Amino acid sequence: MPKLSVTVVTKNEAADLGSALASVAWADEIVVVDSHSTDDTCAIARQHTERVVVHDWLGHIEQKNYAASLASHDWILSLDADERVTPALAEDIRATLATDPRHAAFRLPRVTWHLGRWVRTTDWYPDYQTRLYDRRRAWWTGRYVHEALTVEGPAGQLSSELQHYAYRDIADHLETIDRYTTLAARQMHEEGRRAGFLQLAGHPPLAFLRNYIARGGIRDGVPGFIISSMNAYYVFLKFAKLWELNRVRGSGFGVQGSFGFEVRGSEFEVRGSGFEIQGSGSTPPNEHPAPNPARGTRNTEPGTPNVNEP
C-alpha cells in the first residue's frame, strides 16, 4: 500500500492546528509549512511532527506545491488547519490507497460547522474538495480565488466527509467575504469582465433563491436563511467591487479624507480640516491586499469558502 504524507500550510493557526493534526495522527508523515507565525503555531505543530518548516509566504498555490515537494511520499493529503479528518474518512482513505488506485486524485465531500450546526444545505454542501492526490500526476494551479488541483486524468471520489470549521462567528464570516470578494473582483477585472446594474441587481437575488429554495437552506431554519443571505451578499459585493475597479478607479478621479476613502484626479487641490481633494494627473494602480495567510488556506476550490459563484 502506498504511504501517505499529510501537508498543512499555516500562519497563526494556533487555535485550530492541534485538532487538525491530531485527526491525521494515523498518517505515515505530517509536513507543516509555516509562514512566520507570531503565535504558538510552530510549537503546536512540533508536538505532532518533526517535519515543521518555516518558509516565506508565496501565495496559497505556491505554498501548497512547496509543501508537497517536501513530502517523503508521493501520495498527499492536503489539509487546512480548520479541517478535521473523521475516523470514517481516515478508514476510507486507507482502504482506497490499499487498492493501488488508478486515479491520480480523489474528491472528498466537505461539511461545514457554522451557527451551531453541521450545514448540509445551500451551496455549502457537499462542497467537494480534491485533496487526496498523487503529486506525480497532480499539482496546485490557479489564480487568487481560483485555486485547485490540476489532475492528469479523471479524479475519483470518496464518500466520507471532511469536517470544516470555517468561521468563528458571523463577524469572522463577513471578514472572509470582504477579503475574498476583493480577490474575486480583481481576477474578473484582469479577465476583462465588467459589472453593471444587471449583475448588481439580478445576480444576488438569484443566488439567494438558489441557496435558500433550490439548495434547501430553508430546511435549516434561521441559520439556513442567514447563510443564504450571506452567500447572496458575497455575490453582490463581488460585482460591486468589480464595478468599482472598472468605473471609479478607472476614471482617474480621486478624493481622500477623514472618512477613509480615496480618489485621485487632475489639476486641482483643496485641503481642509481632515479632508483633502488632490490632483495627480494619473490613474492610481489597482492595488489590492494579498490573500491574508493569517486565516490559513481557506479557499481550496474555485470560488470562495463555501460560496459557489454564479
Residues 6+ apart with CB under 8 A from 115: 170, 222, 223, 226, 227
The last residue of one of the domains, among 164, 182, 202, is: 164
Of the three residues 164, 180, 212, the one that is the final residue of a domain is: 164
CA distances from 263 to 44, 244, 271, 275 (A): 45, 11, 14, 12
- Which of 196, 227, 249 represents a domain boundary (last residue)? 249
Note whether 20 and 158 are same-domain residues: yes
Give the pLDDT score at 65.
97
Q: What is the pLDDT of residue 8?
A: 98
In a domain, 277, yes or no: no
Per-residue pLDDT at 23: 98
The angle subtended at Cα 157 by Cα 152 and Cα 160, nearest 5°, is 145
Phi-psi region of 189 (alpha: psi -120 to 50; beta: other; left: phi over 0): alpha
Domain count along the chain = 2
155 and 205 share a domain?
no
Per-residue pLDDT of the chain (310 residues; tens, 9 = 90+): 899 999 999 999 999 999 999 999 999 999 999 999 999 999 999 999 999 999 999 899 999 999 999 999 999 999 999 999 999 999 999 999 999 899 999 999 999 999 999 999 999 999 999 999 999 999 999 887 767 999 999 999 999 999 999 999 999 999 999 999 999 999 999 999 999 999 999 999 999 999 999 999 999 999 999 999 999 999 999 999 999 999 876 555 443 433 333 333 333 333 343 434 343 333 333 333 333 433 443 333 433 355 444 4
Does the residue 198 lie in any domain? yes
Residue 248 amino acid letter: V
Determine how many CB atoms are found less than 10 A away from the CB of residue 308: 19
One domain, residues 12 and 79? yes
272/159 Cα distance (integer angstroms): 63
Q: Name the strand (E) or helix (H) holding 77.
A: strand 75-78
174 in the same domain as 160: no
pLDDT of residue 280: 38
Instruction: Indicate if 184 and 210 belong to the same structural domain.
Output: yes
How big is the chain, counted in residues? Answer: 310
Is the same domain home to 40 and 149?
yes
Phi-psi label, residue 93: left if phi above 0, alpha if psi -120 to 50, beta otherwise:
alpha
- 41 occurs within a structural domain: yes
142 and 14 assigned to the same domain: yes
Instruction: Supply the CATH number for residue 44's domain.
Output: 3.90.550.10
Q: Is residue 11 part of a domain?
A: yes
The reply to whether 267 falls in a domain is no
In a shared domain, residues 29 and 135 = yes
Query: HEC profile for 223-234?
Result: HHHHHHHHHHHH
> Both 25 and 114 in a single domain?
yes
- The DSSP bridge pattern shows strands 4-10 and 75-78 to be parallel
14 found inside a domain: yes
Residue 49 lies in a domain: yes
Grid cell listed for 204:
444576488
Residue environment code for 199-228, b if the CB has 16+ CB neighbours within 10 A, otherwise e: bbeebbeebbebbbeebebeebeebbbbbb
Q: Are residues 148 and 216 in the same domain?
A: no
Range of the domain at 194: 170-249
* Residues 89, 194 within the same domain: no
